[in-house]
Amino acid sequence: MAEFREETPRDGWEAEKLAVLSKKVEELQLRIEGTPLETALNKLYEELAERGLGFRPKVYLSDEWGCPEGVPVIGIPFYLADERLKRLEDEFSEDLEDDRLTMMYLRHEAGHAFNYAYTLYQTEEWHQAFGPYTRPYVDDYPTNPFSKKFVKHIPGWYAQKHPDEDFAETFAVWLTPGSDWREKYRGHGALPKLEYVDRVMAAIGKTPPALDVDSPPAENLGTLKEHYASRDEGALVASRIAGYADGDLREIFGAAGESAAAAEWVDAKHRKIVQQASHWTGARQAVVLAAVKHLTGRLREMKLGLPDGAPEDLAVRFTAFVTTLASNWVRSGQFIEI
């Protein structure tokens, strides 16, 4: 995980970054108007209109994507409203949303908003299609990447997390222009859910929602430094792995040498490895990234070198190892059973 240390600024960006980190989010006076977010939001509203829907969920800048439970408003990460903050977010998470992913999240959150605005989750038909709304939420959940019971939309097999997320993901696929969902999900268990959304949205049309809000909720987000400190998974992950993986790392990379060539190799390759392990296990990318950063630190401390043989084999072995750790975390809350 990236760390923002109080260092002597080396260039203009370092100085600006340190200055921005000390500010409260509210002090930055961020706005959606006039930014790429406004373009994306207008595109969402156009897609809703093309589907014959009259409700336009309101939006606000928040610390993350989401809708407050039961409230039909869309929270958008504040860093997407400012180019400096986008750069900061990419340094920290290595997972900055591009324009395509931003639209995917907007469609997903619009699904939540419609669910809450029209209280669909309170109906028996909704429960029959998606399951009990009262099922507990968990951050890390087991997934089946090959299940045909759920649509596939935003990363992490998110439809499998909770019935509310299943509906939001189904709505998003239904709303996406050119998704050809009838053909893509023909014969899948997810198709009846898509047909439910298609039928219910046609019935809703331009009917006023049962619940709406005049203004989005206000949030006290603190300083940027506090925001990123609250999201840092590094300490927890490091305590869970510690040195228990050292033997596995020696088996993958070989004997120690004069330099930490293995750590340098992982540093250069880690983005793709993290993305793949997160994608196939459903583990949160922040957790996988923190795990790989910890493993890199262990490689550097042990000064492990690179083994002989094809680099492709090394990439396969290390990616498989990280994926196994991520799968263990999702399944049991532990990376390594000891």
Contacts of 103 (CB under 8 A, 6+ apart): 40, 43, 44
Residue 235 host element (H or E): helix 234-241
In the prediction, which pLDDT does 324 show? 96
In the prediction, which pLDDT does 331 show? 87
Separation of alpha carbons 78 and 216, rounded Å: 14
pLDDT by 10-residue block (mean), the chain, 338 residues: 48 86 92 96 98 96 93 96 95 93 98 98 98 91 92 93 98 98 98 98 95 78 89 87 92 79 94 94 92 95 84 90 94 85
In the prediction, which pLDDT does 214 show? 78
In the prediction, which pLDDT does 2 show? 47
In the prediction, which pLDDT does 1 show? 38
Q: How many CB atoms lie within 10 A of CB 129?
A: 20
Helices 261-281 and 311-332: angle between axes, nearest 10 degrees: 50
The pTM of this model reads 0.88
In the prediction, which pLDDT does 256 show? 73
Coil/strand/helix, residue 304: strand
> Left if phi > 0, otherwise alpha if psi is -120 to 50, otherwise beta: which for 213?
beta
